[in-house]
Amino acid sequence: MPSEVRVIGLDGIPEVVPGDDLVAMIAESLDRGGLAIEDGDVLVITQKIVSKAEGRLLKLEGIEPSPLAITFAEEFDKDPRGVEAVLREARRIVRMERGVLIAETKHGWVCANAGLDRSNVFGEEVVCLLPLDSDASAAAIRDGLTARYGVAPAVIISDSFGRPWRKGITNIAIGMAGMLPFADYRGVTDPSGHDLRITIMAVADELAAAAELVHGKIDRRPVALIRGYDYPRGDGKATDMVLEAEKDLFR
């Protein structure tokens, strides 16, 4: 592993609206900062701008809430239309109590509100949905940057998730292209002479979390360049990180 890794936030990316060319916007920010894509670079892009560019915005006006959504919303002082939107985006409901709605998305992620979010979205009646296929979104951005710079970076699309048993949220990878999501240490001997048998590091999530340190929630810096990390190359997908149902002790 390298002894130093750089995480560089890209400034100057404007508010993203449906139909915007994210590749062009990222390239312009790189150019303004005197940067160019180099071999081994990783770009971490927040889900919010990907969803906005892809038009994954939902107006609550006109949504007819179901009886379940109305009952839950009335009990916990929520907008029943927003609750209904979560129910429609969910593959299944994991927990729905004490005002918290945990759902499994159609991608397989288990998270609050099926990934729906109102933060950094203009309009009181608008919520942002997850991309339909975050891995495909990451691949398209990677292809565009490769065509522009002649070098293929790894691309991660990140989102903020809570964690069982720990307070606070952290960023994880919900889409990727050009890298494998794990560093597999099984079969390696550690410095003490022990053979590692189960150590598989979720490096895509670790890179996503590192990028959040410069993204910030209110700093309008939705893209980060990570340089100096020797990530595992390959055609991995973020969906590879979903734990199989038969191994999930909490289903």
Residue whose structure tokens are 């006109």 = 62
Mean pLDDT of 50-59: 95
What is the spatial distance between Cα 5 and Cα 210, in angstroms, rounded to a whole number?
Answer: 10
* CA angle 99–104–109, rounded 5-degree value: 115
Q: Does position 198 have pLDDT exceeding 70, yes or no?
A: no
Please give the pLDDT value at position 36.
92
Tokens (6 digits) for 206 = 């670790």
Q: Does position 2 have pLDDT exceeding 70, yes or no?
A: yes
Q: Does position 183 have pLDDT exceeding 90, yes or no?
A: no
Please give the pLDDT value at position 155.
98
Please give the pLDDT value at position 187.
56
Q: Is-same-fold flag (6-48+132-242; 57-128)?
A: no
Q: Which residue ranges make up each domain of the chain?
A: 6-48+132-242, 57-128
Residue type, 40: G
Tokens (6 digits) for 122 = 């203009």
What is the spatial distance between Cα 162 and Cα 171, in angstroms, rounded to a whole number?
Answer: 9
Task: Please state, rounded to an integer, the average pLDDT across all residues of the chain.
Answer: 90
Please give the pLDDT value at position 3.
81
What is the spatial distance between Cα 150 and Cα 37, in angstroms, rounded to a whole number?
Answer: 9
For the stretch 205-247, pLDDT in tens is 999 999 999 998 777 899 999 999 999 999 999 999 998 888 8
Please give the pLDDT value at position 188.
58
Please give the pLDDT value at position 190.
56
Please give the pLDDT value at position 228.
96
Three-state SS for 154-219 is EEEEEEEEEECCEEEEEEEEEEEECECCCEECCCCECCCCCECCCCEECHHHHHHHHHHHHHCCCC
Q: Is 84 exposed, middle or buried (0-12, 13-18, 19+ CB in 10 A)?
A: buried
Number of neighbouring beta carbons within 10 Å of residue 224: 25
Please give the pLDDT value at position 192.
63
What is the spatial distance between Cα 181 and Cα 148, in angstroms, rounded to a whole number?
Answer: 25
Mean pLDDT of 50-63: 94
pTM surpassing 0.95? no
Region for residue 68 given its phi and psi (left: phi exceeds 0; alpha: psi -120 to 50; beta: otherwise)? alpha
Fold of 57-128: CofE-like fold (3.90.1660)
Q: Does position 141 have pLDDT exceeding 60, yes or no?
A: yes
Please give the pLDDT value at position 184.
67
Please give the pLDDT value at position 59.
92
Tokens (6 digits) for 117 = 């979010």
Q: 6-48+132-242 — its CATH code? A: 3.30.1330.100
* CA angle 71–73–79, rounded 5-degree value: 140
For the stretch 87-133, pLDDT in tens is 999 999 999 989 999 999 989 999 999 999 887 787 778 999 999 99
